[in-house]
Chain A
Amino acid sequence: MSQMDLVSQNLHKKNSAGQDISLTTQFVTEEELEKVNASFHAQRRLSFSFGIYFFLITLLIPFLSGTSEWWYGTPLIFGLTLNFWTTLLLFHIFYWVLAFIFVKRANRLEDQLNKM
C-alpha cells in the first residue's frame, strides 16, 4: 500500500447504526485511485461505444427511409415493409437489448471496482 494521502467522504449513506457516514472519513490510496480511474475510463469507453451504436442505428432508419426503396417501398413480411416493422417493433427490441447488455456490462465493471 502506498502512503494514504486522499480523504474521501461518502455523502449520502448511513451506516448500520444509523449514523450519517458523511461525518466519518475514509482513506484512499494512490493505488486505489488509479484503479478507480482505470475503471472510470473503461466505463466511459463502454458508454460512448454503446452511444455510437445507438446513434448509428437510429440515424440509419431515417436515412434508409429517405434513400432506399427496398427499405420503405418493398413489402417484405406480411405485405409490410422493413421500415414499418422496424419502427413498429424491431427498433424497440434493439433498444431493449442494447440497454440490457449495457446494464450487465456496467454492473460487472462496478462489481470489479467494489472488489478492489
Chain B
Amino acid sequence: MNLSSVIFFLAVIIGTLAITYSAAKRTGNTREFYAAGNRLTGLQNGIAIAGDYMSAASFLGIAGTIAIYGFDGFIYAIGFLVSYLIMLLLIAEPLHNLGRYTLADAIAVRFESRLLRGMIACSTLMICIMYMLAQLVGAGALIHHLLHIEYEWAVMVVGVLMTIYVGFGGMVATSWVQIIKAIMLLTGTFLLSLIVLSRFDWNLVTMFDYVKTATPLQEKFLQPGNQMNDPKEVISLHLALIMGTSCLPHIVSRLFTVKDAISTRHSIYTATWIIGAFYLMTIFLGFGASAFVGYVVLRDVGFGGNLTVTLLADVLGGEFLTAYISAVAFATILAVVTGLVLSASSAFAHDVYSHLIRKGMASEREQVLVAKCSSVVVGLVSTTLAIGAEKMNVAILVGLTFAVAASANLPMILSTLYWRRFTVQGAIVGMASGLFASILLVGLGPMVMNTEHGLILREPFFLLTNPGLISIPLGFLGAIVGTYCSRPEPGADARYDQVLFQAHTGIRMTKAREQRKKGA
C-alpha cells in the first residue's frame, strides 16, 4: 500500500469516526436513533439516499459493464435510476406520513397484526443481511486486491466500522457517512469524467467513434445485445430493479428522517438528480476504460470488470488518483453497509423486540439499548457469514434481494395504500407467496443450478436468472387471492379512511368518532 492510499483511507476512517463521535451525543432516544430526529432537510436526505443507494456495484460494476459490453451497460444503469420515479409517484409521501421508523410501522396503521409485523421484520432482516453479505464479500475481495490486505481482515475492518457508526451514531452518523460518501463519489466520478473527455478534445462524438475501434465488438459496441440478448431476461431484471428499489428497507427507512411530505418529495427528487448524473458519468468511466485501459486488460484482470475504474484512474492519474478512487470505493462500501446495519437493527429492535416481545411496553432507554446491541449482533453475524462466504457467487444474493423486495414487499405496500378491499390475510398471503416464489425460482434458476459453476451442477429447472417476471405477479396474485378468500374485519372501511387521511396529511385521525359511538 502506498502513502497516498494510506492517507486517503485514514482520512475516510478518521472523518467518519469523528462524525460518529459527534452524533453519539444525540442518540439518547429512539426518534434520534432511528430517524435522526426528523431533522434532515430534503437536500441532505436526498444526498444521503443517493449515498445509500449508489453501491460499489454501481460505481465499479456498471462502469465495468459499459467498458466491456458497451451499450448494454447503459440499459443496466437505467433500471437502477428509474426506480426512484415509482417511489416518488406512489410510495414515498404516503409511507413518510404513515410510518415512524420502519416499514412495519406504516403498514401497522392499517393492519395491527402481530403476524404481519413479524413477517415484515423477517423480510427486512432477510433483505438487509443478504444485501449486506453481498456487499461485504465484494468489499473484502476489492480491498484485498486494492490494498493487499487479507480478505478476512478487510471484511473485519468494514464490519467493525459499520457497527461503530450505527451502534454509537444511529441514523445521524449513518446519514452523514452517506452524505460524505455521495460527495466523494460524485467528485471522483466527475474528475475522472473530465479527464477522459479532455483526452478526446472535449468532443463526445470523437469518444464514441474512438471506442468503436478500441474493442473487439467494433460497431456492435454501441448497439444493444452484447450482454443482454434475451428480452425476457432483460424485462425480468428491470422489473425487479425498478419495483424492488422502492421497497428496499434501508431506502424506505430514510423517508422517516425528514419532517414533512414536501421534504420527502424534495429528498427523492434530489436523489434522482444525483443518481441520474452519476449514471451519466459512468459512461465516461466505461468508455474511458475501454479506450485507455483496453479490452484485453479489463478481461484478463478478472473481477467481472469491477476493477475498471481503479485501472482507469491508474492510467489517467497515476498513484495519487488511484488512491483517491480506491478510498471512494471504500467509502461507498462503508456507507451502503452502514445503512443496511441500521435498517436491520431497527427491524429487530423496534419491530421484533419493542412491539412483538415487549408489546410496546419498553422504555425509551431500553429500546435504544436494544437497538444498539442489535446493531452489534447484526454486524457480528454478517461479518462472520461474509468471512465464510468468500468463494460464494454474491450475484445470487443481489438478485434475490431485489426479487424479494419487489415480490414480497411491493404488492403488500401498494395494496395497503391504494386498495380499500385489501385485508390482512391478503397482506400475509401476498408477502408469503412473493417471498416463497422468489426464493424457489432463484433456487431452481441458473444462478444456483448450472452445469459449469453453479452451487448445484445440473441444468436449471427455471431458465431466468432473475425471477422478477414471474415472482412479482405471483406476489400480487397472492395478495388478491388472500383478500378475496377472506372477509374484511369489522371497521375496516373506517380504518382505511384513517389510512387515507394520514397518508395524505401526516395527521392521524384517532378513534374519536368510534368513541362517540361507543359513548352513545
Contact = CB atoms under 8 A, between A and B. Distances in A.
Interface in A69-116: 72, 78-80, 83-84, 87-89, 91-92, 95-96, 98-100, 102-103, 106-107, 110, 113
B205 A78 contact: yes
B83 to A, nearest CB: 11
Nearest to A10: B507
A37 interface: yes
A40 B512 CA distance: 22
B89 A47 contact: yes
Contact of B71 (A10, A84, A103): A84
Nearest to B74: A87
Nearest to B266: A103
Interface in B31-74: 31, 38, 71, 74
Interface in A1-21: 5-13
Given A11-B508, A54-B89, A92-B276, A110 B262 contact: yes
Contacts of B100: 11-12
A8 B503 CA distance: 13
B interface SS class: helix
A107 B512 contact: no
A11 B31 CA distance: 11
B299 to A, nearest CB: 24
B273 to A, nearest CB: 7
B74 A9 contact: no
Interface residues of A, number: 50
A110 B234 contact: no
B501 A88 contact: no
Given A54-B89, A87-B74, A92 B513 contact: no
Contacts of B501: 8, 33, 36-37, 40
A80 B208 CA distance: 9
B262 A95 contact: no
Contacts of B85: 54, 95, 98-99
A62 B235 contact: yes
Interface centre among A12, A50, A54, A91 (most CB of B within 10 A): A12
A99 B266 CA distance: 10
Contacts of B142: none
Interface residues of B, number: 53
A9 B273 contact: no
A30 B209 CA distance: 66
Contacts of A66: 231
B269 A103 contact: yes
Contacts of B265: 103, 106-107
Nearest to B504: A40
B224 A65 contact: yes
B78 A7 contact: no
A28 interface: yes
A48 B91 CA distance: 11
Contact of B508 (A9, A43, A62, A92): A9
A86 B82 CA distance: 14
B272 A95 contact: yes
A100 to B, nearest CB: 7
Contacts of A28: 507, 509
B186 to A, nearest CB: 15
B391 interface: no
B500 interface: yes
Contacts of A48: 89
A50 B500 CA distance: 20
Given A40-B504, A107-B265, A50 B89 contact: yes
Contact of A87 (B71, B276, B509): B71
Contacts of B224: 65, 72, 83
A25 B93 CA distance: 23
Contact of B509 (A7, A44, A72): A7
B280 interface: yes
A48 B90 CA distance: 8
B261 interface: yes
Contact of B82 (A10, A40, A44, A58): A58
Nearest to B235: A62
A81 to B, nearest CB: 8
B287 to A, nearest CB: 11
B165 to A, nearest CB: 24
Given A43-B504, A103-B265, A106-B265, A88 B74 contact: yes
Interface string B487-520: 0000000000000110111111110110010000
A91 B85 CA distance: 12
Contacts of B298: none
Nearest to B261: A110
Given A8-B510, A88-B283, A103-B88, A36 B504 contact: yes
A10 B504 contact: no
Interface string B198-214: 00000011001100000
Nearest to A50: B89
A51 B89 contact: yes
A31 to B, nearest CB: 14
A110 to B, nearest CB: 6
Contacts of A72: 223-224
Contacts of A39: 504
Contacts of A43: 93, 504
Given A36-B501, A58-B82, A65-B224, 16 more contacts: A7-B510, A10-B508, A12-B100, A26-B507, A33-B501, A40-B501, A50-B89, A54-B85, A83-B224, A92-B279, A95-B81, A96-B276, A99-B88, A99-B268, A103-B265, A106-B93
The 3 lowest CB-CB distance pairs between A and B, nearest first, are A7-B512, A40-B504, A8-B507
12 contacts: A25-B510, A28-B507, A33-B501, A39-B504, A51-B86, A72-B223, A78-B204, A87-B74, A96-B276, A99-B269, A102-B88, A103-B265
